[in-house]
Amino acid sequence: MTATEEARDGEAADGEGTPPASRRALVAGSVGNLIEWYEFGVYGYFATVIAARFFTPEGGSDAEALVKTYASFALAFFFRPVGAALFGRIGDRIGRRPTLILVVLLMTAATAAIGLLPTYGTVGAAAPWLLTLARVVQGLSAGGEFGGAVSVMTEFAPPGRRGLYGAWQSFTVALGLLAGAGLAALLAAVLGEADLQRWGWRLPFLLAVPMGLAALWLRLRLEETPSFRRASGGPTGHTHGAGAACAPQGAPPAHAVAPPPSAAATRRAIGLGIGRLMGWSAAGYTFLVVMPSYLQSTLGASFQQALLATVVANAGFALAILPAGALSDRIGRRAVMAAGTVALIALALPLLNLLQDPDASSAARAAAVFAAGAAVGLLAGPGPAMLAEMFPTTVRYTGLGLAYSLSNAVFSGSAGLIITELIKRTGDADIPALYVMAVCAVGLPALLTLRGDDHRRALRD
């Protein structure tokens, strides 16, 4: 049997769910992720408002309050690895479905709580601590979301479509960020600055309740994945009698489960995964979440202008993700993700300089932020499937969740804090682009270690 035939036979072992089950997995896996990133986007878009409500005691400066707001933002990201380890172990032991149900309940409760919290003017110094506590719960639940959602999507994916199915996870990131930005822009236009500052900022967080209930209903209808049932020794819901009858006597079954990898091997894979994701993490948050505050505080843009630019950037991001995932099913994850990384290294500074140019037209600026978002989409499309392919079923939820959350904790969660503080100290308006370029350059060698045929291989049991 040729290597190509073996790869095709391996592909047939993936995605053993029926088409309706695969579609349910896609929707149920995506919806929790949409809520998560909707909330994280809303927090980033309302960073200046939250700073004024929670982190500005009498005599404090706006810049100092914004730094504290991003510190709370970063703290939630640093709890994501804890959530990834905790919920990942649960998901790898008792199943993806029950774990994802618990995760979406925690995320919904914590997000709604932010919309109900008293501000600094009401309870004083307790306000930022209460906000930080809610952010910690969000971080824990968000850490458990990614690994489970990607495991469900890729383990149910039909043969040859793992990149496209995994890309839906990233696509719902874009949808969540767009929903948050669109709602923030709508509230700013309808309510006006005064009402938005007083009470309007609470509305996007409270909307998490109906969204969370919809996600819960979808996940209650979700089946456990065939890969997990097979790895745990349970029935897969599929028979392979013909294949078993034709197998030579004494040959291992078609879906024999390999022994769990060593802890050292899993740690190495997680470290490599972080390296492969760091450019995506840094560029994604810099261009898609931190940008509104940068445009306001550094370039003097209005709240509405900053949000409009962010909507355009997220539109470019969203439109690139699914094509990038599908393309990676044809030509490989390495080619697509390396191309996106090189594009970010080459274009980050020129695109930012175009935004800084007072003589640049609105169309040129829109094209710049759209292109930046699209370049990030080239990484985000194949990224989830690439991670799923790095880990066997027995540690997949934990391994890919930790790689993703650790990368995001360091390079996404800290992006706003690092960029804001460095601009404050140096006065250099190019800091966002330099940050993206540096992180992408460091992460590119790790991406180049991907094998060209990883996309054709079966997920490891």
> Does residue 401 surpass a pLDDT of 80?
yes
CA 163 vs. chain centroid, Å, equals 15
pLDDT mean over 279-295 = 84
More confidently predicted of 206 and 361: 206
What's the pLDDT score for residue 241? Answer: 34
Other Cβ atoms closer than 10 A to 241 = 7
Mean pLDDT over the full length of the chain = 82
Q: How many domains does the chain have?
A: 1
pLDDT band at 16 (very low <50, low <70, confident <90, very high): low
Residues 6+ apart with CB under 8 A from 403: 269, 270, 273, 274, 277, 387, 390
- Give percent of the chain above pLDDT 70: 86
- Name the one residue in this structure whose structure tokens are 């709602």: 183
The one-letter amino acid at 41: G
Domain-located, residue 9: no
pLDDT band at 2 (very low <50, low <70, confident <90, very high): very low
pLDDT mean over 323-336 = 96
SS3 311: helix
State the Cα torsion 139-145-146-151 to the nearest 10°.
160
DSSP per-residue string spanning 107-164: HHHHHHHHHH---HHHHTTHHHHHHHHHHHHHHHHHHHHHHHHHHHHHHHPPTT-HHH
The alpha-helical segments, DSSP class H, found in 357-428 are 362-380, 383-388, 393-411, 415-426
> Does residue 11 surpass a pLDDT of 50?
no
> Does residue 328 surpass a pLDDT of 90?
yes
More confidently predicted of 295 and 199: 199
CA distances from 197 to 7, 107, 287, 364 (A): 57, 24, 25, 31
Q: List pLDDT tens digits, range 373-395.
A: 999 999 999 999 999 999 999 99
pLDDT mean over 214-228 = 89
Helices 263-285 and 333-356 cross at an angle (nearest 10°) of 30
pLDDT band at 299 (very low <50, low <70, confident <90, very high): confident
Domain-located, residue 317: yes
- Name the one residue in this structure whose structure tokens are 């029935």: 235
Helices 162-195 and 126-156 cross at an angle (nearest 10°) of 150
Domain-located, residue 205: yes
Q: Which domain holds residue 382?
A: 15-231+262-452
What's the pLDDT score for residue 231? Answer: 81
What's the pLDDT score for residue 131? Answer: 86
Q: List pLDDT tens digits, range 84-138.
A: 999 999 999 999 999 999 999 999 999 899 899 988 888 887 888 888 888 889 8
Residues 6+ apart with CB under 8 A from 63: 297, 420, 424
State in Å, rounded, how far the first CA of the chain is from the last one: 21
Q: Determine the Cα–Cα distance for residues 228 and 221; give it in Å rounded to an integer.
A: 17
Domain-located, residue 154: yes
Domain-located, residue 461: no
What's the pLDDT score for residue 30? Answer: 87
What's the pLDDT score for residue 56? Answer: 66
Q: Determine the Cα–Cα distance for residues 4 and 22; give it in Å rounded to an integer.
A: 25
Q: Determine the Cα–Cα distance for residues 66 and 9; give it in Å rounded to an integer.
A: 54
What's the pLDDT score for residue 14? Answer: 46
What's the pLDDT score for residue 335? Answer: 95
Give whichever of 172-181, 190-199, 371-380 has the largest mean pLDDT.
Answer: 371-380
Helices vs. strands in the chain: H and E counts, helices first:
22, 0
> Does residue 51 surpass a pLDDT of 60?
yes
173 near 302, Cβ under 8 Å? no
Give whichever of 134-143, 320-329, 366-375 has the largest mean pLDDT.
Answer: 320-329
Closest C-alpha among 19, 18, 22, 12 to residue 456: 12
What's the pLDDT score for residue 159? Answer: 83
Residues 6+ apart with CB under 8 A from 310: 45, 177, 181, 288, 289, 291, 292, 369
- CATH code at position 327: 1.20.1250.20
* Lowest-confidence pick of 142-146, 184-188, 291-295: 291-295
Domain-located, residue 240: no
> Does residue 412 surpass a pLDDT of 50?
yes
Phi, psi of 291 (to 5 degrees): -50, -40
Domain-located, residue 411: yes
What's the pLDDT score for residue 365? Answer: 82
DSSP per-residue string spanning 15-45: --S-HHHHHHHHHHHHHHHHHHHHHHHHHHH
Domain-located, residue 163: yes
What's the pLDDT score for residue 392? Answer: 92
pLDDT band at 61 (very low <50, low <70, confident <90, very high): low
What's the pLDDT score for residue 25? Answer: 86
**Structure token digits, residue 349:** 């500074």
Closest C-alpha among 230, 277, 283 to residue 386: 277
What's the pLDDT score for residue 386? Answer: 96
Strands (E), 301-366: none
